[in-house]
Amino acid sequence: MKRISFKTNFILTVIFVIGSGFMLLWASNSLGDYWARIITLMAIYGIMATSYTLVNGVTGIFSLGHAGFIAVGAYTAALLTLPIQQKAMSFFITPLIWPLNSIQMGFLPATIIAGCVAAFAAFLVGYPSLRVTGDYFAIATLAFAEIIRIVIQNSYSVTNGSLGLKGIPPYTTIWWAWGWLLVTLIVLGSFKFSSYGRALRAMSEDTVAARAMGIDVFKHQLMSFVVSGFFAGIGGALYAHWLTTIDPRPTSLGIMLTFFVLIMIVVGGLGSLSGAVLGAVFFAFSAQWLRIVESPMNFFGLTIPGIPGMSMLIFAVVFILIMLFWRRGIMGRDELSWQYIYNHFSKRVGDQD
Amino acid sequence: MSDVLLEIKKLNVFYGAIHAVKGIDIDVKKGEITTLIGANGAGKTSTLNSIVGLVRNKKGNIIYKGKEVSHLKPDAIVKSGIALAPEGRRIFPNLTVEENLQMGAFFRKDVAEVKRDLKWVLELFPRLKERLKQMGGTLSGGEQQMLAIARALMANPQILMMDEPSLGLAPLLVKEVFGVIKRVKREGKTVLLVEQNAAAALSIADYGYVLETGNIVLKGKGKELLANDEVRRAYLGVTV
């Protein structure tokens, strides 16, 4: 089996990135606003999914708290970019506290601050939660995410409580979203294949053996959790400026979002970053496509009224089928690299002779 | 060479209400092979795991190079030069053989020496060299055991502790593994070996301890124990 050299790999990747850039340029100019928004959402989901798979796939600890960090990022960024007059208008029950009521900054610094605040939240959640393992960890993180949501819902003077934030400037374009996805992939990709990433993968396979190798398991898990939280925050910031209105309902920035991202990473293959992106693209696309089943239909002369939530039902069935018959997902634990494509291609050729 | 590298004094290990190891004393001398033999549940694995810090609920002293180390965490102990090839091999199945070996040297920053050790380990286990890019889980049982030992050696330890390296191996492979242990000793490493295969362990050991339900019931030079009537009857299946 031939190994593709670093140089070839690098050149092909650069060509691929530039090619994708032109594809996106074409898409944003000629596919119309509707599809431009969906393609933007794909990248936002991609950021959420890759950061989630770092914890649940690569590190092998099952967290259910991802939406909590996304929410922290979304609220932080939104509060930083909202125009001051808009804030005064929205916060009519309890005024916004100083200094948030007199700040308005650009999108990039707001996004980065959102990532940092979410990373800090991940540290606060991870530090106690990582003392327990397995199912208990999943429950602990689920509870913490819910706590974050409830706190947001009740902190009227900071988050406007259940009224939510509206009028968030629609800064998130295709370029911001896919640009951040590229950054996320570069950072998380080099993280996964560094010696730290190798330690994370070793831990996910056998914690005791990893400990016997002298790996401080807690420290590494916490680090992965915090890095994941950072990018979840970035994803949340982009999401807020894509939606332009956010509120703390469980169906928007709560447990439902965690499950959406979970579906993406399981479809893509747990532990694969490129798989997570593919899963996100798949999910964003099919969530739109499945809207058909929720609208009223005329079925052979029989009129069926639109059933809200029908698409979720189909997602659930698809999810169960994947769990039963296709547990590896699209990519398994592999990454979609040039080497991977080459190996598959050469195998095909080898089969023929 | 007779100076004691690792000294265990009055070690007690508890799992909840169960008192697994009841105040044992063990000396591991530099450059020698020391073995702990005994049946299931005698406390052998508990002893090794508490030396490397995997068991926290313990009492007693573990003195390594004259320093108390019983309070240290595994990463600090491995760094100080005690490596463990754990029971049941416990290699990383979805990491390649090469990555498995790199994990053994995880905490080491001396890149050049790690490279040299990798070369040395692969000389010791030529079969691993052929399988470097293969996933650990695809190796045979014997090869996995070799990998587990090689991985522990990658930490460049002063003391190599091995937990039942013969577990689940065919007799021919057991012989091969024990040949490797002897070679490791010849390279100047100190070995602490835990075994149920008493005959094989005692035949290569300089000194041996017999554990029974958490107590040391016998100790002596390897050859002496091998000739001891009680050991022969209880562990070697010889009727005396």
Please give the ipTM for the structure prediction.
0.83
Q: Is residue A299 part of a domain?
A: no
Residues A192/A270, Cβ–Cβ less than 8 Å: no
> Does A213 contact B104 at a Cβ distance shorter than 8 Å?
yes
What mean pLDDT do residues B197-221 have?
A: 91
Range of the domain at B105: 32-53+75-235
pLDDT at A278: 94
Residue range A300-343, pLDDT digits in tens: 777 777 777 788 888 888 888 888 888 888 888 888 888 888 88
Q: Is residue A282 part of a domain?
A: no
| A2 touches B: beta carbon within 8 Å | no
Q: Is the pLDDT of residue B1 over 50?
A: no
Q: Is residue B210 part of a domain?
A: yes
**Smallest CA–CA distance from B76 into chain A, residue:** A214
* Cα(A72)–Cα(A260) distance, integer angstroms: 17
Q: Is residue B70 part of a domain?
A: no
* Cα(A103)–Cα(A69) distance, integer angstroms: 22
Q: Which one-letter amino acid corresponds to residue B214?
A: G
* Cα(B204)–Cα(A312) distance, integer angstroms: 65
Residue of B69, B95, B106 to mutate, testing the A interface (most A Cβ within 10 Å of its Cβ): B106
Residue range A205-263, pLDDT digits in tens: 988 889 888 899 999 999 999 999 999 999 999 999 999 999 998 888 889 999 999 99
Question: Of A198, A214, A216, which has the smallest distance from its Cβ to B99's Cβ?
Answer: A198
Range of the domain at A110: 17-255
pLDDT at B139: 92
**Smallest CA–CA distance from A209 into chain B, residue:** B90
Comparing A55 with A295, the larger pLDDT belongs to A55
Residues A315/A288, Cβ–Cβ less than 8 Å: no
* Cα(A242)–Cα(A287) distance, integer angstroms: 16
The total number of structural domains in chain A stands at: 1
Residue A265: strand, helix, or coil: helix
pLDDT at A352: 47
Q: Is residue A304 part of a domain?
A: no
CA distances from A139 to A50, A68, A150, A262 (A): 21, 13, 16, 15
What mean pLDDT do residues A155-161 have?
A: 89
Q: Is residue A314 part of a domain?
A: no
A vs B, Cβ pairs < 8 A, gives 66
Specify the DSSP element, H or E, that contains B208: strand B207-212
Residue range B110-147, pLDDT digits in tens: 889 999 999 999 998 888 999 998 999 999 888 999 99
The total number of structural domains in chain B stands at: 1
CA distances from A14 to A1, A178, A347, A350 (A): 24, 15, 25, 29
Q: Is residue B12 part of a domain?
A: no
pLDDT at A305: 77
Q: Is residue B61 part of a domain?
A: no
pLDDT at A350: 53
pLDDT at B2: 55
Q: Is residue A223 part of a domain?
A: yes
pLDDT at A7: 87
> Does B94 contact A333 at a Cβ distance shorter than 8 Å?
yes
CB A267: neighbour CB atoms within 10 A? 24
Residue of A193, A213, A270 to mutate, testing the B interface (most B Cβ within 10 Å of its Cβ): A213
Question: Of A206, A209, A214, which has the smallest distance from its Cβ to B155's Cβ?
Answer: A214
Chain centroid to CA A84: how far? Answer: 29
Q: Is residue B67 part of a domain?
A: no
Distance from CA of B57 to the nearest CA of A (A): 16
* Cα(B20)–Cα(B43) distance, integer angstroms: 6
Q: Is residue B118 part of a domain?
A: yes
Residues B155/B83, Cβ–Cβ less than 8 Å: yes
Q: Is residue B183 part of a domain?
A: yes
Question: Of A198, A205, A208, which has the smallest distance from its Cβ to B54's Cβ?
Answer: A208
Comparing A88 with A107, the larger pLDDT belongs to A107
Residue B9: strand, helix, or coil: strand
* Cα(A180)–Cα(A115) distance, integer angstroms: 12
Q: Is the pLDDT of residue A191 over 90?
A: yes
pLDDT at A140: 96
Q: Quick one: pLDDT band at residue B221, thresholds 50, 70, 90?
A: very high
Residues 6+ positions from A108 with CB-CB distance below 8 Å? none
Q: Would you say how long chain B is, in residues?
A: 240
Cβ-based contacts of A210 with chain B (< 8 Å): 92, 103
Residues A203/A217, Cβ–Cβ less than 8 Å: yes
> Does B90 contact A212 at a Cβ distance shorter than 8 Å?
yes
Of A36-50, A284-298, B58-72, least confident by mean pLDDT is: A284-298
Structure tokens at A162: 């259940």
B98: domain CATH number? 3.40.50.300
| Alpha-helical segments (H) within chain A | 6-30, 32-53, 66-81, 84-90, 107-129, 134-154, 156-159, 174-192, 195-205, 207-212, 217-243, 250-253, 255-268, 273-289, 310-325, 338-352
What mean pLDDT do residues A164-177 have?
A: 92
Q: Is residue A104 part of a domain?
A: yes
Q: Is residue A260 part of a domain?
A: no
CA torsion through residues B78, B80, B83, B86, sign: negative
Q: Is residue B48 part of a domain?
A: yes
Exposure letters A184-220 (e unless 16+ CB within 10 A, then b)? bbebbbebbeeebbbbbbbbbbbbbbbbbbbbbbeeb
Residues A154/A94, Cβ–Cβ less than 8 Å: no
**Smallest CA–CA distance from A201 into chain B, residue:** B95
Q: Is the pLDDT of residue A62 over 50?
A: yes
What mean pLDDT do residues A165-187 have?
A: 94
Q: Is the pLDDT of residue A353 over 70?
A: no
